[in-house]
Structure 1
Amino acid sequence: MTQVTEHGGGVWSLRVPIPDNPLGHTLVHVVDTDRGPVLVDTGWDDPDSWSELTAGLGALGLAPRDVHGVVVTHHHPDHHGLSGRVREESGAWIAMHAADAAVVRRTRESDPGTWLDYLARKLASAGAPEEHLAPLRAARSGGRIRTLPGLGAALPDREIVPGELLDLAGRRLRAVWTPGHTPGHVCLHLEEEHPAGLPGRGRLFSGDHLLPGISPHIGLYEDPDDATVTDPLGDYLDSLERIGRLGVAEVLPAHQHAFPDAAGRVRELLAHHEDRLTGLLALLTAPLTPWQLAERMEWNRPWDRIPHGSRNIAVSEAEAHIRRLVKLGRAEAVPGTEPVAYAAV
């Protein structure tokens, strides 16, 4: 049965499934405007997901052709995947932050093998063993890469500008740039009185930035053509503090469920990452490569039970934490190591 939740004040959420993913579903939000419904995110590009999105809209007396616009919190396929199909059905505009639009454009324009070549090189430099790299090389040579999600993601036709109100007739929805999970992730502050009278300054569509029970993945910003040393974890922590200062009455995230007390959740996540950085410093009393550090970090299951693709994500997260420690002057690369190992200072 399609699960539709009414949040009041012309806002609903639709549960759109994510195939073969423990998160289960994306919460696609429907916002009523004077020019028609606008979606915040759209869900994964999959036939079952499209059927559920269509059914959810149908429960509200709507169809995809009625959608006026799509606001994308970030470029990941469980959020942006169906945006193109919605636009094909309705002529709706698609809005996204410029940094994530650049990721979509680069992915569309690059040869599909570029990504796997880059990933293999990066993992090798992080200390990944040959048995982990072999499947990537096999996929590259075996022609299976064209099935990777996101290769044909829709190009947005509007830019979300941080700090500005989006052009939604009859609504006040302001963009808040919250990089970390992706370089162009945005939260969306609905600057309207809470329909149930909860104290605070409106509601927040938080995408993956602020979730009630899990911490979003914070890995490196991946760009094969850009050697800039970024600090995604630092970006995320700064963004969390920015959201904590908004004082919203309720958070409407893209996964799990709506919740109050954004500031309290921000404090929990800041403390979580500080504890994690402290724990990693204890591991780095002896030099470790990013791969070796990932093997020793705490995940939601033992390392030997983490699937191949999820290990790539874990290593990226380890690298993001190492970069933060290096930037803070609490760790440094060990001279002469290859692949590069890091140690606490």
Structure 2
Amino acid sequence: MAPVYDHGGGVRSLRVPIPDNPLGHTLVYVVDTDRGPVLVDTGWDDPASWEALTAGLTACGTSVAEILGVVVTHHHPDHHGLSGRVREASGAWIALHPADAAVVRRTRAARPGRWLTYLAARLTAAGAPEHHVAPLRAAPADALPGLSPALPDREIVPGGLLDLPGRRLRAIWTPGHTPGHVCLHLEEHHPSDRTGHGRLFSGDHLLPGITPHIGLYEDPDDTTMTDPLGDYLDSLERVGRLTPAEVLPAHQHAFDDAAGRVRLLLAHHAERLTGVLALLTGPLTPWQLAERMEWNRPWAEIPHGSRNIAVAEAEAHLRHLVKLDRVQPVPGSDPVAYIAA
């Protein structure tokens, strides 16, 4: 496929590969401004990804050295990973929402192995068997990616216009996938005269054929019972009301009918919550619940890392149902089990 896709109106996208990941690539957007190009996300910090990014910028008629700034939709390494290298090569600023900037600061400040220790403890508390947790305890401290993400220079203000000379790009705070995820609304006439209100860079919040992962907001020092799924559902409603003419997501491909996609995702999670309630006729730990939920393959075929993600998603659904008073923890259970109220 062509290394660059021109979406018109001074917006192009580059496919930056994600190593050993079924998603395949991150769509990095190059937005022309009066003072030089600005990137929306950067891709994974990997030599092949860096090569694809630099080659794509060359194909756009520019270079990394000319980048004015980087707007990061969220802190995950397939979006924020190369931001530091871009800044080193160009002096570009990096903008991130304060909630995800806090994640970056915690990650950088944590001692080696802190996140593996935290993950092992969280899985144990969720009822994971010892044979699943043991490899995490034995893993090297640097086994997880993205442990030294670039610190941002600027904080994205929800509802505010970003500093893109000659463009109108407004930040829409859409927590759920991460606490500081943002979508970016390009409040300009669509270059192909499509019906709707501008274009939306949707990051991982709104994808054409994938339901974004909604797990837990990971802060080892915060005991607040957050509700990421509730945040996500509220964020979906907010984005649906924007009615953009086109959505430019971070994975897969551009699409229209954002409101229709929002309705499908809301219906999916409503069905998911109903299914979880049906499983909780008796007490289940989050691990036991995840074993019984429907995934894209049988539980026995889900690899180790994906099981961690599945358990976090099960916990996110449990938290939301607890908040709705539809589910309650079983008193005295250890690890904690839940049952329908």
Q: Same fold (TM over 0.5)?
A: yes
Aligned position for 2:123: 123
**SS state of the match for residue 195, structure 1?**
coil
Aligned position for 2:331: 335
Tell me, yes or no, if the aligned pair for 2:16 and 2:52 is still in contact at 8 Å. yes
Q: Deviations over 1:222-264 (max 9, x none)?
A: 0011111100000000000000001110000000000001000
Which residues of 2 match residues 301-320 of structure 1 at below 5 A? 301-320=297-316
**SS state of the match for residue 160, structure 2?**
coil
Aligned position for 2:20: 20
Distance in 2 between residues matched to 1:221 and 1:208, nearest whole Å: 15
Does 1:211 find its partner at 2:207?
Answer: yes
Aligned position for 1:44: 44
Match of 1:224 among 208, 220, 223: 220
Match of 1:189 among 168, 185, 191: 185
Tell me, yes or no, if the aligned pair for 1:2 and 1:52 is still in contact at 8 Å. no
Aligned position for 1:174: 170
Q: 1:280 to 1:3 in 2, by over 3 A?
A: same
**SS state of the match for residue 146, structure 1?**
coil
Match of 2:253 among 251, 257, 263: 257
Tell me, yes or no, if the aligned pair for 1:2 and 1:56 is still in contact at 8 Å. no
Tell me, yes or no, if the aligned pair for 1:2 and 1:55 is still in contact at 8 Å. no
Match of 2:264 among 249, 268, 273: 268
Instruction: Please report the TM-score for the alignment, with normalisation by the length of structure 1.
Output: 0.98
Residue 286 (structure 1) shift = 1.3
**SS state of the match for residue 78, structure 1?**
helix
Q: Deviations over 1:170-201 (max 9, x none)?
A: 00000000000000000000000000000111
**SS state of the match for residue 314, structure 1?**
helix
Distance in 1 between residues matched to 2:281 and 2:77, nearest whole Å: 38
**SS state of the match for residue 187, structure 1?**
strand
Does 1:145 find its partner at 2:150?
Answer: no
Read off the aligned partner of 1:36 and give its amino acid letter. G
Aligned position for 1:201: 197
Tell me, yes or no, if the aligned pair for 2:125 and 2:336 is still in contact at 8 Å. yes
User: What RMSD in Å do the two structures reach over aligned CA positions?
Assistant: 0.8
Read off the aligned partner of 2:318 and give its amino acid letter. I
Which residues of 2 match residues 51-90 of structure 1 at below 5 A? 51-90=51-90
Residue 2 (structure 1) shift = 5.1
**SS state of the match for residue 75, structure 1?**
coil
Aligned position for 1:93: 93
Aligned position for 2:319: 323
Q: How many residues align?
A: 341
Read off the aligned partner of 1:287 and give its amino acid letter. P
Instruction: Please report the TM-score for the alignment, with normalisation by the length of structure 2.
Output: 0.99
What residue ranges of structure 1 are gaps of 5+ in the alignment?
A: none
**SS state of the match for residue 311, structure 1?**
helix
Read off the aligned partner of 2:127 and give its amino acid letter. G
What residue ranges of structure 2 are gaps of 5+ in the alignment?
A: none
Read off the aligned partner of 1:121 and give its amino acid letter. A
Q: Deviations over 1:255-308 (max 9, x none)?
A: 000000100000000000000000110011111000000111111111111111
Off by >4 Å, runs of 4+ in structure 1: none
